[in-house]
Structure 1
Amino acid sequence: MIMKDLTAIGLKVMRVEAVTGHEGRDDDGAIYLLGDDAENVNKECLCNFLASKMVPVVAVTCSDQRDSSPLFDLDDLAFDVGKCLKANKIIVLTADDCIADFTGSEYSVTEARAMAEERSVLSGRVSRLLGKAAEACEELVERVHVLDGLRDYAILAELFSNEGVGLMVHRDPYGQIRQAKNSDVSEILSIIRGAVMESELLPRHSADILSCLEDYFILEIDGNVVGTVAVHSSDAFSELACLFVKRNHEGAGHGKRLVDHAEGIAE
């Protein structure tokens, strides 16, 4: 299924045996890879494939004293390989529906750590994934995506849509707030259209925004405008206006970030 997702957008994909290890058990009986993480990953092999613009799908070569095939913690492997390659994104595909209730959710490192500790309301698997994702983001990874590996085209839907279909943990903060440009005007009008129709925001036209474009700021994530705010200032006071965050990005703290930014401009 992974290969189908990647080849669907024209990528060259090959199965590669680039991870080796031996059986071992911790105090709880969980099976894991022995030795230093970096020693288990053939970094040179993977980098050569990537340099050749090929996507390596990593397979595991393992051995033990009984010459059997032990089970490995694939979650650990995903994070170990990603950190070894100094990846800016790690995508973990699950083989169950443990994240069914988290579709489209995104959390900061702080939020992920807090949720991981709430074991009473989360499954052990989700708590563990959130904890490891937060740890990876604290080290060097920008984002971790956890997806339902049984869903068709899950990777494409997660990476190439604004909403996403899985669970994402990101560094603090995620996305950038910048001053709006001429090319952003149509996108600003597009995202606030629904709020204007519902009388939540005052109507605005291109000419209105262009006449005071320097007052407008946008929150941009992966090249997509997901929120906007304007600060109209005079000698006497400053007015916050046109505050809006896309519906499918609500609840992630983006509105507060825009307000904080606006207050900083107004001071």
Structure 2
Amino acid sequence: MFSLKGKTAVITGGGSGIGKSIAEIFSKQGAVVHIIELNLQSANDTVNGIKKYGEAFSHSCDVSKQLEVKTVFERIGKVDILVNNAGIAHIGKASTTEESDFDKVYQVNVKGAYNCLYAVLPLMQKKGSGVILNTASIASLVGITDRFAYSMSKGAIYAMSMSVARDYMADGIRCNSISPARIHTPFVDGFIAKNYPDNHKEIFEKLSKSQPIGRMGKPEEVAALALYLCSDEAGFITGCDYPIDGGFIKLNN
């Protein structure tokens, strides 16, 4: 089950965290994996780690630049699966978020996803099939303190996912999104180290327990959900968002 043999998958932001875990499990399941990353070294690290499973390639690309994105997708050619995972975070309320920070989050998280959709959809239409999975967030579904710009961007991801699912259903293209809660990635460790250097353990514990299940999620748990949604076994699923949140949305009273 869940074989991706013979399929080509493109994963943005696949150099670390959730994207890296998705790249690994897709490769194990037989996909030819292409990593699109701003940081080529991290992309190469992922590729070197999964080449033992099959073919894998890295591409240096700023997803906010449409010409760069189109050039990469034209080079890849055949795409069966796109995982729009690249993104950045920002801390701030509406009144404390500077215009430059708002624009930066929009450019990467929203326009970056759009640019990849714009480039890949004609390729999928041409062959009459395709699967798109966009990484949203629980922040697209509930209010998260001090995450105004980030929440805006992930709300856009959710809405774009539903729109693409509706517009391209007749072309044999499925589109869904996933909405993780806090996942333990190098980004989280870096955030704590930078902002709370004197009480790292206490903050880590506090963030972990903000999920009712009592811990952060693991990147490989998100990757397993991504594998299912991008596999043929999920062929009847489109236009859906899947929270993976340790009970955060429904059970966090």
TM-score normalised over the length of structure 1: 0.25
Q: More helix by proportion, 1 or 2?
A: 2
TM-score normalised over the length of structure 2: 0.26
